[in-house]
Amino acid sequence: MTTCSAPGKVYLFGEHAVVYGEPAVPCAIERRARVTAEPREDGRVRVEAADLSLDGFTVTWGDGTDDHPDIDAPTPLVEAGMGYVNEAVEQARDAADAPEVGFDVTVESDIPLGAGLGSSAAVVAAGIDAGTRSLGVELPPEEIADRAYRAEYEVQDGQASRADTFCSTMGGAVRVEGADCRTIDAPELPLVVGYDGGAGDTGKLVAGVRALRDEYEFAADTVAAIGDVVREGTEVLREADPDGEADPDLLAELGRLMNFDHGLLSALGVSSRSLDAMVWAARDADAHGAKLTGAGGGGCIVALDETGGTETALDYTPGCERSFRAELATEGVRVEEP
């Protein structure tokens, strides 16, 4: 039996545009998904996911490599969650050259499913690492990230980027542009997350942006403009002291760029009333900047604020279920005590 965990993430800049080869800068945060894997000889896979949905569920499937779970679950979101677990199992089998092995899998997560905090990437990365280690195979982080990306690519019908899975695997702040993935230095950022209790449909939101981009040249220009914001933001981060806290001038510039990014994402139709309400509450509380994080449509926003003003404002914002301060997770996927 092996337990591994991987962190969630927030995007400083770049979601959606990263799908089209533009750069993105996500940051890992100390909210983790933990996956425990124990091999079994009958080829079947049993998954207990106590925290992957509000009510939790247990699913068992398969006695061969071509089987997929028959999920009796109330929402497409949970079905997608099981798809990620299934693909993580397939990647672990392939990496360990054990196509017929089964697993008992337990998933526990501090990351709301579908809320824009990278729950699927964390589950996949931790699942691949736990599955392969339980079979006596230790993969380098770069291979875990690549295999986790392939798993998300399958579930998301070819519309995934490498950003979430690379960030969750490596930890810290990363920059992703197409297949070019690298860690970058970043100071301690005063990240505050607001959560509306809901979730967006990632596949539908990504497809909606694709349709706009294909139909309107100005929508394609909007996607490219998000890439320009990311490039500017990367240059700002390069000026920071990676071993200390960000100074107010740097935070102010990062915040302005986050505000630009949110406006561009809103123009692409991926924000929502609750997300906009939380963004404006943060800005009215004098946050340096605020934007949605992840696919949008509901879920989370991220703000920069070293004071307690944004958290207080979000706590009184209709539609905000909870807020919390998020620390940068310097460690990516790792082995945990079961």
Architecture, CATH, for domain 191-326: 2-Layer Sandwich (3.30)
Task: Name the band, by pLDDT with cuts 50, 70 and 90, for residue 245.
Answer: confident
User: How far is Cα 107 from Cα 133, in angstroms, rounded to an integer?
Assistant: 16
Query: What pTM was estimated for this model as a whole?
Result: 0.88
Sequence-separated contacts (24+) of 161-167 with Cβ below 8 Å? 161/18, 161/19, 161/24, 163/11, 163/14, 163/15, 163/18, 163/24, 163/26, 164/9, 164/26, 164/118, 164/120, 164/121, 165/121, 165/124, 165/125, 167/9, 167/26, 167/27, 167/28, 167/118, 167/121, 167/332
Q: Which two tokens stand for residue 162?
A: 């490498």
User: Which of 138-142, 244-248, 294-298 has maximum average pLDDT?
Assistant: 138-142
Instruction: Delimit the domains of the chain by residue range.
Output: 2-184, 191-326
Integer Cα distance of 73 and 71 in angstroms? 6
Contact (Cβ atoms closer than 8 angstroms) between residue 314 and residue 281: yes
Cα distance between residue 11 and residue 176, in whole Å = 11
- Could you give the 3-state DSSP secondary structure of residue 205? helix
Query: What is the overall mean pLDDT for the chain?
Result: 89
Residue type for position 172: G
Which tens digit of pLDDT belongs to each residue from 30-88?
Answer: 999 999 999 998 888 888 876 654 444 455 656 554 555 555 444 555 566 678 888 99
CATH topology of domain 2-184: Ribosomal Protein S5; domain 2 (3.30.230)
Catalytic residue among 129, 164, 201, 305: 164
Tokens of 84: 């990620």
SS3 category, 317: coil
Alpha-carbon gap, residue 314 to 292, rounded angstroms = 14
- pLDDT score at 73: 47
Q: Based on the residue annotation, tell me whether 63 is a catalytic residue of this protein.
A: no
Identify the H or E element spanning 14: none
Q: What is the pLDDT of residue 274?
A: 96
Three-state secondary structure of 252-311: HHHHHHHHHHHHHHHHCCCCCHHHHHHHHHHHHCCCCEEEECCCCCCCEEEEECCCCHHH
Q: Which of 71-80, 139-148, 240-249 bottoms out in mean pLDDT, i.e. has the lowest?
A: 71-80
Q: Rounded to an integer, what is the distance from CA 39 to the centroid of its chain?
A: 27
pLDDT at 61 (0 to 100) = 54
Query: Which residue pairs from 52-59 have beta carbons closer than 8 angstroms and sit at least 24 positions apart in sequence?
Result: 52/78, 52/81, 52/107, 52/109, 52/113, 52/119, 52/123, 53/77, 53/78, 53/81, 53/113
Q: Which amino acid is at 301?
A: I
Per residue in 301-328, pLDDT tens? 999 999 999 999 999 999 999 999 999 9
Which residues have CB under 8 Å from 70's CB, separation 6+?
59, 61
Angle at 307 between CA 304 and CA 308, to 5 degrees: 105
Fold match, 2-184 / 191-326: no
Higher pLDDT among residues 18 and 80, named by residue: 18
Provide DSSP, 36-79: EEEEETTS-EEEEESSSSSS-EEEEE-SSTT-------SSHHHH
